[in-house]
């Protein structure tokens, strides 16, 4: 599992050993090994790390006399590759730089684990459009990176997990990522904005996919079954937060998509878009189909894309119209 984070200066200094490095406590088990990549804004660099289970993210707090240089040296001893002189954020140069860096990282993972199933996860902000890493790796470069990775591996990724960032369940996201993965996890609406009614660290770990992926892979023979259980973790988190969600009317949903079924739907949808009665799309794709007279078989094809769902529609009446996939933004060939 390649887990990627973008670390901004206002969130965490380069001299910190904790924070995002502490989010996954167990780095390796018999069934899963995490590699973690950090896009460091403070140092204009991106680093690939291989942390051992013994890594101590609190070493700087435990040793008050530890200097910033010593903290950095402690963490960076586990960096296995770095790309420096990263261009300015939100530029084409930044996107090309990250594409090159992550293609390099993927080659390392393939050379080390050619017979393993590979997965990608991002922890950070999101939005529809088929981009990666908070719009730092734009649509075309994101696709090129994934194509390079899967071509080197010789098969698609197992899952691209974007279930944490907001609103990554867009048609454009599935159209770009499902070319290179068997499954996709995301939400078509914003994630978060709520808290557990009675938060405990145990409940957090129980419902945290990054922590539970080791167990999910170990207890399921099939990837799809493990990912169904991963979606159920999100539902458990909703149940622990019921009162808070109801009081704030916080709509939440997380979905497991079949990329094979999306490919079939995408072809049928392209034919449908060519019909002259189709006008400007609404935000919700299901609503768009219904409003423009889509045939039942196309609606059924849309529904087959979903392997499993978790939402809180039974907690209160949603005001937002969201059925799992938002409509195309209109800038790619469908």
Tens-digit pLDDT profile for residues 164-196: 999 999 999 999 999 999 999 999 999 999 999
What are the distances in angstroms from CA 126 to CA 53, 174, 180?
29, 14, 19
Compute the average pLDDT of residues 24-52.
Answer: 97
What does the pLDDT read at residue 334?
47
Instruction: Examine the pLDDT at 332 and tell me if it is beyond 90.
Output: no
Q: What is the mean pLDDT of the chain?
A: 94
Compute the average pLDDT of residues 306-316.
Answer: 98
Quickly list DSSP for 95-141. Answer: HHHHHHHHHHHHHHHHHH-TTS---EEEES---SSS-BTTTTB-HHH
Copy the structure tokens of residue 124. 């950070």
pLDDT digits (tens, 9 = 90+) for 142-162: 999 999 999 999 999 999 999
Given a contact cutoff of 8 angstroms between Cβ atoms, the answer to whether 47 and 6 are in contact is no
Helix or strand or coil: residue 12? coil
Strands 79-83, 35-40: pairing is unpaired
List the chain domain ranges: 87-311
Q: Give 274's pLDDT tier (boundaries 50, 70, 90).
A: confident
Q: Give 276's pLDDT tier (boundaries 50, 70, 90).
A: low
What does the pLDDT read at residue 282?
62
Compute the average pLDDT of residues 75-99.
Answer: 97
């Amino acid at each position: 599992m390649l887990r990627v984070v973008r670390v901004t200066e206002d969130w965490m200094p380069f001299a910190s050993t904790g924070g995002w490095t502490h989010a996954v406590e167990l780095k390796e088990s018999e069934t899963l090994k995490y590699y973690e990549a950090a896009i460091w804004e403070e140092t204009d660099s991106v680093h690939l790390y291989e942390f051992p289970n013994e890594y101590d993210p609190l070493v700087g707090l435990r040793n008050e006399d530890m200097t910033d240089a010593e903290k950095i040296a402690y963490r960076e001893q586990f960096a296995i590759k770095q790309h420096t002189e990263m261009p300015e954020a939100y530029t084409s140069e930044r996107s090309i730089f990250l594409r090159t860096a992550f293609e390099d990282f993927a080659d390392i993972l393939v050379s080390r684990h050619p017979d393993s199933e590979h997965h990608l996860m991002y922890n950070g902000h999101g939005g529809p459009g088929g981009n990666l890493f908070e719009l730092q790796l734009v649509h075309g470069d994101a696709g090129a990176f994934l194509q390079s990775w899967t071509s080197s591996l010789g098969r698609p990724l197992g899952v691209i997990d974007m279930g944490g960032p907001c609103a990554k369940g867009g048609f454009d996201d599935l159209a770009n990522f499902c070319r290179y993965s068997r499954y996709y996890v995301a939400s078509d609406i914003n994630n978060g904005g709520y808290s557990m009614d009675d938060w405990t660290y145990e409940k957090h770990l129980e419902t945290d996919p990054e922590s539970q992926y080791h167990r999910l892979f170990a207890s399921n023979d099939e990837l799809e079954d493990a990912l169904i259980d991963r979606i159920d973790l999100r539902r458990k988190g909703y149940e622990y937060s019921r009162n808070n969600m109801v009081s704030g009317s916080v709509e939440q949903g997380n979905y497991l998509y079949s990329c094979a079924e999306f490919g079939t739907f995408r072809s049928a949808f392209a034919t449908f878009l060519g019909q002259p009665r189709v006008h400007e799309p609404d935000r919700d794709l299901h609503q768009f189909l219904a409003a423009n007279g889509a045939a039942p078989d196309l609606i059924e094809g849309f529904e087959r894309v979903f392997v499993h769902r978790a939402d809180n529609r039974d907690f209160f009446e949603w005001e937002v119209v969201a059925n799992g996939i938002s409509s195309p933004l209109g800038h790619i060939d469908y």
